Structure 1
């Protein structure tokens, strides 16, 4: 009986005889009886989905957060206090908010079975020595199967025979270049470096092969990564944690205030217990910000909408704000920082060096020398080099849309087709003029590919491959149209050029040719053809950085966000790209996966504090890197597009998947998907995240400052032992909280980014929404001013009717008019507060006094609502209000302007102090 899981190294290093003994199989495959038995023992060859939350669970969670529970309790308290209208209103706020949150997340996060989509539906196996097409789920260890170009690999398998086999392993390794595979064992760098092993979830870019499966389903490397991803429970976002903390703080404050007011009313004012209890309950409900949850939800939803316009789709609302706190971005290289499109950027000839403009699989660009476009007819050696590039080629490029292309074959060959097109070489005409007669396919042993063509009655072999292989077989060199013997100086010049490009992280491919006589054509094998070659030149290529990545990285540095490259590519390539885009300095450290394996957690935590690049890493390494950053107190955003990125995406505070090139596995694990695969979109999303948090804090400042003028009159009532009647009724207090304050507060949630938001460091982990600055401004600045003004308004009305502080009455028309005026004064103070809260330092006149139309509309509605309370008889009776005269309206209209101007003066001195600190 074979083992449940077989080690990859054991399989890779075994001889075929040992291999089949280990797997209890043979080249004739399994018989049907044994295959059925193994299917029962090992299970289906499929990825087992983790149990997802039901839609009911997703729905319920929006109604049971700490803030939501606080609102349920607040509504109940209002009912107990004899205010059913208020209780129902609070509950309706909670219900509407919960439904809105559920719909936003449901629309953004529809469950998919994407892991299963990564595996092929059918595969061809050898059973009872016959080829048979079976469902891939029925494949078992020991099954021998056949693959060809375009097929997905159904299981981890050992290659038994291969012809020109190249595998696209980017989903597992993150490398842009295909991996050459054959039946011979050879271990290269990296976890997936075995030359004779192919992995589930990867695809065949080129060639054919026969292989034997040794691990299936969840036992494959693909399955292990999936299992690691599914084990990760998603942590609460920083905003969720902060809202929970804020809820507890507000609850404690409200209860303490309620108890103090209850005791004072009973023992100091000598109110009856029942009346005192209702009074205290009203104060508790008044101090609970009922509008916080809907405002936070709406602010996040608006952030989601703004992000979607900038090519970033957010799956969970709370993820929006998390982006704003990001202090580290752990970024994959291929397809994220680079275009994932191999591109020829230099053509090296012994007597000339040509530069190629234009990036990616597009023929927009040109071959040039000294920044001047080249006419290839004037450079015969260059034309020959491009001809070999175009004709010694089995790949095709198809345009799927006006801007998008699909490569059929390998990225390297696609790049050579494109460079020929950029030089305006007519490839279709060339194919007709120089038809292919024969091909010697590429293999990893000789590292060459040769095609033989008929050219003007002659037979010519075009050869491309690794420089070392070409140099071993070359005896001549072509320079300026003439062929001569290849000497030591020539070899040194060629090797120096190759080393120069390698030091820049670029990859070179050598091209050569030779004319064949009739005898050689009769025995056209590699030993006969691939010798005595004429060396032509080098094509130099790389996966180029995205054009916009340079500015995006600079913005990250300005915003004090560190970017750490985590890639499966080589150390040389990784560091070269990181240097080129300005991510690191020359002294930055590069750690490979093998080095990381030997590091303990503390050493890794120390390493990620530095300028660093990680290369040749495996999936579990990326996961460890993210955890190490988090252990250092960082908020980590992890980007990626492959299966190998999924565990890190799930572990990160915010996982960001590529929408175009990303695998479905990565998209499922991520919190956000970039629809344009553009790293620059992350920077725009970070700015939105910072804006969302800032807007939530502005809203908090706005609603808390109104609590002071609501509370101070009640304090005067208590301190005067009832001599000063309550300037506000409980229903009037709650009118401010749930009525007049709501729309301007929601307008603050739509405020645009304040200038300089991306020039500040991410907020510290120990900073909180209810920060000292917020408390100071809410209570000692905005709130204190509003309390003075509203108290003065109350006394002003009494004074206008001949009452002084010693003979105030809590009955009659004057009292109703005085409480109405107190309510109106608070509302007009809040108008000024809504405008003042829009910015922290910047003048509102700089950003435009009327630029936020939501706030202006909110203020208009606020005044209309206040007027309704004063002049509609039914509302007058319900809220204990009355109509006021022209003198009172003039008084109210005069309130906002001085408050705005005084705040502008304060902000001016704040900016002045900040400028001095920056220059010192």
Structure 2
């Protein structure tokens, strides 16, 4: 048998299912049990490899890898050798306290990888020996035929061979909440992950329909496995202040050692000190010059910042991130749910007679319809009433009021249609009682529409909802205010393009009388003869508070960029409403990023505000490109696909409500309300914390310098040392900390 593991790299989304069957030496009836066992033994189980975690001992020793700590440890050894036990104990206690604080903060990357592995399903339904079996997901091999239905989690990467009304939620990989329609037809080789309709990826969830697919990748070879490997390979950056403190520690160590050596030599040669007393004087200089209380004051200052940010719905998972937030110069934000409400809303309605706009946002049924900016009486527009009724008849969702908000049960777009109908004064309950549904044809990506058969008095009515280009092909007339008239196809195509240019998702509605009672077949719709009722444009509207927050970021010199899995036109339309960019909003797609080298990408960054149809590699590359230009980057995300970039960013920000555990574990900050305005508020708090930390450092250095000079002066004058090392440490750790904390509570500078 040939080595099949090499074939997992082929772009199976762009090749026919038959080619995959041939390549993996399988059939539509699946593998034999014996063949599956052989492949499992050769390729290994379908699971992600567990990384080798650092031992607790290694993590503990890493906390002592600091030059100032080395100086303190050397001082402790000298005091032990000179039998000054109390001084040694106090010095070692300070070292242990600081190491404990650092030890507690580690381990986030390992948790992120564990969260990704937890997304894999445990069982799968497969065809083996021509029979349907339920097997452990870990036993899947390339060439297996997997059967899926609503509610299933995809167990491996599949090339679909059958798709009946199949829709899959791929938010963990694409970041987009709307379920993707699936088909068996090949797509372009360059198609972005969210456009690969012929594939089902491990870790995603079947929203509706049924399907069958050939396993083309398992374990680490899956898309999920590739992302997991990226997370494991991404280097976590240190914070700006930590980098500055490391440089400061190196320089201070050189000065301290030189000064202590000079004091020791001078004390012995010029002042006749005994060697033991000279060593203690040198130790006194060392421990007095080192700001031992500084780590404690810095930690408490950061903790106060954590509390302030938590009050603003920003949950900090790593203390140093508080300080880094204050240095952020670029925010790369997800679109859906962060810059937008993540609640689909009907923004425009187009009938043959006019175009209407709606007021109100989200699922709350409050608002009205406008024509040319003025409110209308919906009863005066029967064609508007017809499309409102159709939006209820071709609808399987429901709208209900929860404790604090309105909630849609079902497809978000269908929920938005119910809200539109209510604004048009249509009663969903009354419409469905008056026009009961008899039969339906569910939406399918092959014919791109949904149809419903409803009883209208003694007759039956077929209502169709679907992709505008497809529905338009089936229509011969259009509904106007005065009745039906011949279809003006060119005018409707222009209207479709106009709505799409605004970044809206367009649906078309049409209807016709049924030829026979209680009968609805696909042929009844595809034969045409429909009357076009109109178009509906839907959009996920920007958060009102995000507009203000972006303006504040601009005023503070912070650049905001949108990174989305959605289409470029939608991203640009939302970006304009948010005020991104400098007048003109430029966008780059993931495909365009692939065609650029690193220099070209860096040159494009200052003028590009929207990055669309992006993959995990694109997001990681964008963050690295920004950092290479000196930017301090905050990256937001909610899916597994965001985890590598979240880990690489200076501050990774995960969504608390809709974010996956993998994203949260890779991030330094979690937004409890998934709101961009919270990031802006956290950056403001971070700048306050950074300013206060600078004050603390500026206060600590002269204090410690004064102590060191007192020891030096005593040696120069040949008098007794004013303080022992233990007393110096007491001053630094107790009085120094309490006085330094005054700066931690400072408010923002005016």
TM-score by length of 1: 0.75
Relative distance call for 1:85 and 1:665 in structure 2 (3 A) is same
| 1:595 and 2:597 correspond | no
Tell me the residue number matched to 1:869.
none
* d(CA) in 1 for partners of 2:723, 2:117: 62
Q: Please name the residue that 1:494 is paired with.
A: 492
Structure with the bigger RCO (C-alpha within 8 Å, sep 6+) is: 2
Q: Which runs of 5+ in 1 are unaligned?
A: 756-920
Take 1:203 and 1:400, find their aligned partners in 2: how far apart are those partners? 25
In the alignment, which residue of structure 2 is the partner of 1:449?
450
Give the direction of change, closer, same or farther, for the CA distance of 1:400–1:130 in structure 2 (3 Å limit): farther
Q: 1:216 aligns with which of 196, 215, 218?
A: 218
Q: Does 2:23 align with 1:25?
A: no
Matching of residues 432-447 of structure 1 within 5 Å: 432-447=433-448
- The residue number in structure 1 matching 2:45 is 44
Q: What is the match of residue 748 of structure 1?
A: 743
CA deviation vs aligned residue, 1:695-751 (integer Å, no higher than 9, x gap):
2221121122224544555666567x55xx579444665554334322011232333
1:503 matches 2:505: no
Contact 1:81 1:281 in 2 (8 A): no
- In 1, Cα distance between the equivalents of 2:107 and 2:17? 52
Structure 1 residues 368-418: Cα deviation after superposition (integer angstroms, max 9, x where no partner): 55667666445432232122112212344577764474643x332232233
Cα distance, 1:619 vs. partner?
A: 1.5
Once the two structures are TM-superposed, the CA of residue 7 in structure 1 deviates from its matched residue by: 4.7
CA displacement at 1:251 relative to structure 2: 1.7
Q: For 1:561 and 1:120, how far apart are their aligned partners in 2?
A: 41
Contact in 2 for aligned 1:105/1:315 (Cα 8 Å): no
- Quote how far apart the aligned CAs of 1:509 are: 1.0
Tell me, yes or no, if structure 1 residue 543 matches structure 2 residue 540: yes
Using the TM superposition, give the Cα deviation of residue 280 of structure 1 relative to its aligned residue in structure 2, in angstroms: 3.1
Equivalent position to 1:334, from 333, 336, 354: 336
CA distance in structure 2 between the aligned counterparts of 1:373 and 1:513, rounded to whole angstroms: 27
- What is the aligned partner in structure 1 of residue 563 from structure 2? 566
Deviations 1:785-841 (A, max 9, x none): xxxxxxxxxxxxxxxxxxxxxxxxxxxxxxxxxxxxxxxxxxxxxxxxxxxxxxxxx
1:608 corresponds in structure 2 to 605
Residue pair 2:17, 2:159 contacting (<8 A) in 1 also? no
1:687 to 681, 684, 687: 684
| Contact 1:68-1:293 within 8 A present in 2 as well | no
> Do the aligned partners of 1:101 and 1:297 also contact (CA within 8 Å) in 2?
no
Deviates more, 1:248-257 or 1:593-602: 248-257
- 1:636 offset after TM fit, Å? 1.8
- How far has the Cα of 1:31 moved from its partner? 2.1
1:251-284 CA-to-partner distances (Å, cap 9, x unmatched) read 2222222233334444555555544443333122
For residues 645-681 of structure 1, give each alpha carbon's deviation from its aligned partner in whole angstroms, at most 9, with x where no partner exists.
1221122222221121112222222222222211222
Q: Distance in 2 between matches of 1:611 and 1:562?
A: 11
- Alignment check: 8 A CA contact 2:112 2:663 kept: no
CA offset digits 1:23-52 (Å, max 9, x no partner) = 211122222222222222222222223233
| CA displacement at 1:296 relative to structure 2 | 1.7
Q: In the alignment, is the contact (CA less than 8 A) between 1:575 and 1:613 conserved in 2?
A: yes
Q: Kindly indicate whether the alpha-carbon contact (under 8 Å) linking 1:5 and 1:215 is maintained by their aligned counterparts in 2.
A: no
Deviation at 1:454, TM superposition (A): 0.5
Q: How far did residue 581 of structure 1 move?
A: 0.8
Q: Residues 143 and 361 of structure 1: is their aligned pair in 2 closer, same or farther, counting only changes over 3 Å?
A: farther
Q: Secondary structure at 1:607's aligned position in 2?
A: helix
5 Å-filtered alignment, 1:219-230, equals 219-230=221-232
- Structure 2 counterpart of 1:675: 672
The count of aligned residue pairs is: 747
SS class of match (2:210): strand
Task: State how far apart, in whole Å, the 2-side matches of 1:478 and 1:406 are.
Answer: 30
Give the Cα separation in 1 of the matches to 2:284 and 2:653: 45
2 CA distance for matches of 1:736 and 1:482?
91
Kept in 2: contact 1:461–1:529 (CA 8 A) = no
CA distance in structure 1 between the aligned counterparts of 2:495 and 2:33, rounded to whole angstroms: 57
Q: Is the 8 A contact 2:590 2:613 kept in 1?
A: yes
Provide, for residues 524-566 of structure 1, a one-character-per-residue CA deviation record: whole Å limited to 9, x for no partner. Answer: 3335565221111111111222222112212221222222222
SS in 1 for 2:197: coil
Matches for 1:880-895 after TM superposition, within 5 Å = none
1:429 to partner: Cα distance:
3.1
Question: What residue in structure 2 maps to residue 860 of structure 1?
Answer: none
In structure 2, the CA distance between the partners of 1:713 and 1:168, relative to structure 1 (3 Å rule), is closer
Distance (whole Å) between structure 2 residues aligned to residue 685 and residue 138 of structure 1:
46
Q: CA deviation at 1:584?
A: 0.8
**Residues 104 and 301, structure 1, Cα contact 8 Å, conserved in 2:** no
How far 1:463 moved relative to its partner? 0.9
Distance 1:400 1:446 in 2: 36
In structure 2, distance between residues paired with 1:598 and 1:505 = 25
Structure 2 distance, partners of 1:432, 1:169, is 35
CA distance in 2, matches of 1:733, 1:19: 74
SS of 2:339's partner is: coil
Asked if 1 retains the 8 angstrom alpha-carbon contact of 2:466 and 2:508, the reply is yes
CA distance in 2 between partners of 1:64 and 1:131 (Å): 58
2:610 match: secondary structure: strand
Cα separation, 1, equivalents of 2:250 and 2:407: 54
* TM-aligned CA deviation for residue 106 of structure 1: 7.8
Closer, same or farther: CA 316–159 of 1 in aligned 2, 3 Å:
same
Is the Cα contact below 8 Å between 2:71 and 2:286 reproduced in 1? no
Q: Does residue 699 of the first structure (1) align with residue 696 of the second (2)?
A: yes
SS in 1 for 2:50: coil
**Aligned residues of 1:443 and 1:449 also touching (Cα < 8 A):** yes
Q: CA deviation at 1:4?
A: 0.4
Match of 2:582 in 1: 585
Indicate yes or no: 2:488 matched with 1:515.
no
Within a 5 Å distance, the mapping from 1:184-263 to structure 2 comes to 184-187=185-188, 189-263=191-265
Alignment of 1:402-481 (within 5 A): 402-403=404-405, 405=407, 407-408=409-410, 410-423=411-424, 425-480=426-481
Q: In the aligned structure 1, how far is the partner of 2:255 from the partner of 2:208?
A: 68
Q: Residue 136 of structure 1 contacts residue 154 of structure 1 at CA under 8 Å; is this kept in 2?
A: yes
Query: Paired residue for 1:128?
Result: 129
After superposition, the Cα gap between the structure-2 partners of 1:602 and 1:106, relative to the gap in structure 1 and judged at 3 Å, is: closer
1:459 shift after superposition: 0.6
Q: Does 1:312 align with 2:310?
A: no
Distance 1:306 1:75 in 2: 38
For 1:72 and 1:240, the matched residues in 2 are separated by: 21
When residues 522 and 677 of structure 1 are mapped into structure 2, their CA distance, relative to the original with a 3 A threshold, is closer
Question: How many angstroms apart in 1 are the aligned matches of 2:401 and 2:186?
Answer: 38
Separation (CA, whole Å) in 1 of partners of 2:735 and 2:62: 29
2:391 maps to which residue?
Answer: 389
Inter-CA distance 750–5: structure 2 relative to 1 (3 Å threshold): farther
2:658 corresponds to = 661
Task: Tell me how large the CA RMSD over aligned residues is.
Answer: 3.0
Q: Which runs of 5+ in 2 are unaligned?
A: none
| Larger Cα-atom Rg | 1
Candidates 563, 571, 575, aligned match of 2:572:
575
Instruction: Assess, with a 3 A threshold, how the Cα gap between structure 1 residues 66 and 329 changes in structure 2: closer, same or farther.
Output: farther
Secondary structure in structure 1 of the residue aligned to 2:659? coil
Task: Render the CA deviation track for 1:587-642: whole Å, top value 9, x for unaligned.
Answer: 34322222211211121222224344222222211111111112222222221112
Q: Which residue of 1 aligns with 2:362?
A: 360
Structure 1 pair 743/38, CA: closer, same or farther in 2 (3 Å)?
Answer: same
Residues 13, 603 of structure 1: alpha-carbon distance in 2 compared, 3 angstrom cutoff: closer
Deviates more, 1:610-619 or 1:152-161: 610-619
For 1:182, the equivalent position in structure 2 comes to: 183
Match of 1:638 in 2: 635
Report the equivalent of 1:865: none
Q: What is the rounded CA distance, in whole Å, between the counterparts of 1:729 and 1:528 in structure 2?
A: 95
In the alignment, the residues of structure 2 paired with residue 673 and residue 530 of structure 1 have an alpha-carbon distance, to the nearest angstrom, of 53
In structure 2, the CA distance between the partners of 1:185 and 1:736, relative to structure 1 (3 Å rule), is closer
Displacement, 1:451? Answer: 0.8
Whether contact under 8 Å (1:67, 1:243) holds in the other structure is no
Structure 1 pair 284–485 and aligned structure 2 pair: CA distance change class (3 A): same
2:504–2:539: 8 Å Cα contact kept in structure 1? yes
1:800-811 aligned at under 5 Å gives the runs: none
Cα–Cα, structure 1 residues 366 and 258, in superposed 2: closer, same or farther, change >3 Å? Answer: same
